[in-house]
Amino acid sequence: MTTPRDSGGTWGPIALGLATLVGVLAVIEAMIRIGWINAFIVPLPSAVLLSFERIIVEEGVLKRFLFTAAEALSAGTLVALVGISLGVLLYRRQILRLACENWIAALAAAPLVLLYPLFLVIFGRNAVTIVMIGFLSGLPPAILKTVEGLSGTRRTLIDVGRSFNLSPSQQFRKILFPAALPTIFVGLRLGLMFALINIVGVEFLINFGGLGQFVNELAERYDLPAMYAAIFFVILVSVGFFLLTERIERWLGRAR
């Protein structure tokens, strides 16, 4: 978190970072022009920059972005609904939690995205497969963090609820859930991020859908400048997403 005290000193390093980035790109540009780097392997940074207009105007990258965003949103909604519900279930039934929590943590470590051929067989080569893979890979962190958040509720808060004679459902809605929300959101954010990564990955692998397919298509067409521009676009999307969720998380954290 930036405090007013050190925010004055952050612009220098940021400028340094940007200057280095521009400098590196300029050096690469020069090395390609001299012929030290093969232009058939690494396109000119200036050509990449110029092809941005092309991928936006001619190739409809924004439409593809919306497609991927819609997939991520669907997967994210599923992750939130199912993940939080399962988390609450595990919190309520401690025996289930003891039995399953380690399994779920192990699942989080397994390369779930490798299930995509199986999902192709079940759902076909369409958006459902992509959304389901995204949903599945985002599920473990959402469940685990929901359980963690609920069980981390401060004893005093629970006792306050008790002293007001809240019913179990009121207790949950007014005390437990709000207290756990920041932690739950950490889980949702992780889950969404995993979902987005896997969605773009599967799009790339099965050559279907939004941005992932776009990168794959440009690679197959050997349109290098546009491919680099498209990759840069995917990075921009991840960055935007990262910053947005970070902002929300901070806001929730402060609300606590």
Give contact residues for another protein (rule: CB under 8 A): 10, 12-14, 16-17, 20-21, 41, 94-96, 98-100, 106, 109-111, 113-118, 120-122, 193, 196-198, 200-201, 204-205, 211-212, 215-216, 219, 227-228, 231, 234-235, 238-239, 241-242
Rounded to the nearest 10°, the torsion over CA 172, 174, 175, 180 is: 80
Q: Residue 87 is encoded by which pair of tokens?
A: 């988390």
To the nearest whole angstrom, how small is the minimum distance from the Cβ of residue 141 to another protein? 12
- Amino acid sitting at position 195: A
Residues 74, 131 contacting (CB under 8 angstroms): yes
- CA-based R_g, the chain, Å: 23
Q: What one-character DSSP code corresponds to residue 165? A: T
Residue whose CB is less far from another protein, 80 or 211? 211
Residue 246: alpha-carbon gap to chain centroid: 11
Residue whose CB is less far from another protein, 172 or 189? 189
To the nearest whole angstrom, how small is the minimum distance from the Cβ of residue 34 to another protein? 19
Rounded Cα gap, residues 188 and 100, in angstroms: 19
Residues 142, 183 contacting (CB under 8 angstroms): no
Residues 229, 52 contacting (CB under 8 angstroms): yes
To the nearest whole angstrom, how small is the minimum distance from the Cβ of residue 240 to another protein? 10
Handedness of CA 184, 186, 189, 191 (dihedral sign): negative
Residue whose CB is less far from another protein, 178 or 219? 219
To the nearest whole angstrom, how small is the minimum distance from the Cβ of residue 166 to another protein? 23
Residue whose CB is less far from another protein, 63 or 221? 221
Residue whose CB is less far from another protein, 242 or 251? 242
